[in-house]
Amino acid sequence: MEVTDHLDDRSGERPVGQIRPCYSRPNPLRSEACQKGYLRLGEILMGHSDSASALAKLRAQGLRLNGLRHQELRYTGQRVNGRGANGHGKNGQGAFKAEFLTDVLTGLQASPKSLPSKYLYDERGSRLFDEICLLDEYYLTRTEDQIIKQYAQEMADQIGPGVMLVEYGSGSSTKTTALLNRLAEPIAYVPVDISREHLGRTALSLAAAFPQIEILPVCADFTQAFSLPVSSRLPTHSAVFFPGSTIGNFQRPAALAMLEQIAQLCGRGGGLLIGIDLQKEVLALESAYNDARGVTAEFNLNILRHINRELAGNFEKNQFEHRAVYDGDENRIEISLVSCCQQQVAVGEETFLLEEDEAIITEYSHKYTIEGFASLAAEVGLTLRRSWTDDKQLFAVLHFALLS
Ligand code: AVI
């Protein structure tokens, strides 16, 4: 299967392969893509509230969608808030940096000081996080994997036949294979990820492994609203798969907004299969975020390197210590970087004073009970249908349905 990334022509990024043409005639909307006769659906979607209105306009212009066979890959590369969804398009690069700077300055001006956790995940941070997932102390990933493996058939039955399965933060889609293998007549699988490179590779191998399922990758920041791609066959419903307990990294209002966004994306009859980390004794929780090898500490400190590199910061990594403590009132692990001394740091043109022992919060990781999370989800109309846990009740995977 050939996949061509035309985005590379404009952004100077490395190609991840080739993309199948979505349209068979040059499109007047993009001259560069026109010359090649190809256009990505993401470009078509620009300026349209949804794919249906974009497609209607194109049809009116005499353009036609190529009939795609199951083995073919459509690349939707959606735009998020007017910038390249991965933050690295030509214009996206500048916008991404401006947003990064604003977020960092806002966080450092706040009391207590904080930095948005999404900036932990540059390339090195993502690699360190992958390492965390393999640590003995970090039970979350392997426990969720084991639950999904053990109950994949029940989960697939619960999701139901004819689904368009949408995975948030799909990465290498490792957890999805067990589900895709067991779903009854799945129509399409939509991996959503901010990393285009990951998406391209994953989509290709999934398309080869599951020729009966249409693979429709979407490059997007799933914390922002985006619309679903149109599959060539009509699904009976859509279901979001959101593993990894990433929802725990959102504070309550943001978690609710996220659930609301999922409910809107799926619509009535839709579903949500989500992983959450459960409340447990403090020692096990704190050990998971204070591993003996110091990988989590390095992951946390890496945000300072990221800021120094991208925003002309002058953080001295050695002047900060990693801290991860459980707050029993808020039911969350609070991860921070603690200043070892009184010091002044600069980010771009701005300077900030840090007192000795002053903490910069970099991440929260909320721990739930099944009932607590179910009542949160109920606020946006998601009804708990089934839950699965491991023997020690460390982690849970929940299935919700959107009944009305
Ligand atoms: C991605 N997220 C679910 C992880 C967690 O456990 O909250 C992030 C993490 N931070 C430090 N270790 C893991």
pLDDT in tens, 230-242: 999 999 999 999 9
Distance between CA atoms of 117 and 131, rounded to whole angstroms? 17
Distance between CA atoms of 151 and 135, rounded to whole angstroms? 24
Residue 44 lies in a domain: no
| Cβ contacts of 287 within 8 Å, gap of 6 or more | 137
Checking if the pLDDT of 254 tops 50, the result is: yes
Q: Which of 373, 334, 295 is nearest to 138 (CA)?
A: 295
Is 110 in contact with 280 (CB distance < 8 Å)? no
Q: Is the CB of 246 under 6 A from ligand 1?
A: yes
Residue 43 lies in a domain: no
Residue 275 lies in a domain: yes
Q: What is the mean pLDDT of residues 10-37?
A: 28
- Which of the pair, 349 or 172, is modelled with greater confidence? 349
Q: Is the CB of 141 under 6 A from ligand 1?
A: no
Kindly indicate the confidence band of residue 197, based on its pLDDT and cuts at 50, 70 and 90.
confident
Give residue-wise pLDDT tens across range 258-303: 999 999 999 999 999 999 999 999 999 999 999 999 999 999 999 9
Distance between CA atoms of 282 and 325, rounded to whole angstroms? 9
Q: Which of 143, 286, 363, 395 to mutate to test the pocket of ligand 1 (most atoms within 8 A of CB)?
A: 363
Checking if the pLDDT of 396 tops 60, the result is: yes
Residue nearest to atom 5 of ligand 1 (CA): 365
Is 270 in contact with 395 (CB distance < 8 Å)? no
User: Which atom of ligand 1 is nearest the CA belonging to 246?
Assistant: 3
Give residue-wise pLDDT tens across range 366-381: 999 999 999 999 999 9
Residue 214 lies in a domain: yes
Checking if the pLDDT of 184 tops 60, the result is: yes
Residue 272 lies in a domain: yes
User: Which atom of ligand 1 is nearest the CA belonging to 120?
Assistant: 10
Is 224 in contact with 348 (CB distance < 8 Å)? no
Checking if the pLDDT of 343 tops 80, the result is: yes
Residue 365 CA to ligand 1 centre (angstroms): 6
Residue 117 CA to ligand 1 centre (angstroms): 10
Is 325 in contact with 333 (CB distance < 8 Å)? yes
- Which of the pair, 29 or 397, is modelled with greater confidence? 397
Q: What is the mean pLDDT of residues 210-227?
A: 90
pLDDT, position 200: 86
Give residue-wise pLDDT tens across range 102-153: 999 999 999 999 999 999 999 999 999 999 999 999 999 999 999 999 999 9
Averaged pLDDT score across all residues of the chain: 81
Distance between CA atoms of 152 and 186, rounded to whole angstroms? 14
User: Which atom of ligand 1 is nearest the CA belonging to 288?
Assistant: 12
Residue 215 lies in a domain: yes
pLDDT, position 195: 81
pLDDT, position 9: 31
Residue 366 CA to ligand 1 centre (angstroms): 10
Q: Is the CB of 337 under 6 A from ligand 1?
A: no
Residue 340 CA to ligand 1 centre (angstroms): 24
For a pLDDT cut of 70, what percent of the chain falls above it? 77
Q: Is the CB of 289 under 6 A from ligand 1?
A: yes
Residue 172 lies in a domain: yes
Q: Is the CB of 295 under 6 A from ligand 1?
A: no
Residue 382 lies in a domain: yes
Which CATH number belongs to the domain containing residue 174 in this structure? 3.40.50.150
Distance between CA atoms of 119 and 100, rounded to whole angstroms? 8
Is 251 in contact with 280 (CB distance < 8 Å)? no
| Number of domains the chain is built from | 1
User: Which atom of ligand 1 is nearest the CA belonging to 140?
Assistant: 6
- For residue 170, give its domain range: 139-280+370-402
Is 217 in contact with 199 (CB distance < 8 Å)? yes
Is 237 in contact with 254 (CB distance < 8 Å)? no
Kindly indicate the confidence band of residue 92, based on its pLDDT and cuts at 50, 70 and 90.
low
Beta bridge partners of 395: 277
Rounded to 5°, angle at Cα 50 from 197 and 44: 55
Distance between CA atoms of 275 and 141, rounded to whole angstroms? 10
Q: Which of 23, 20, 36 is nearest to 72 (CA)?
A: 20
Phi–psi pair at 265, nearest 5 degrees: -65, -45
- Which of the pair, 60 or 94, is modelled with greater confidence? 94
Using CA atoms, how far residue 191 sits from 170, 172, 176, 240, 255, in Å, is 5, 9, 10, 10, 20
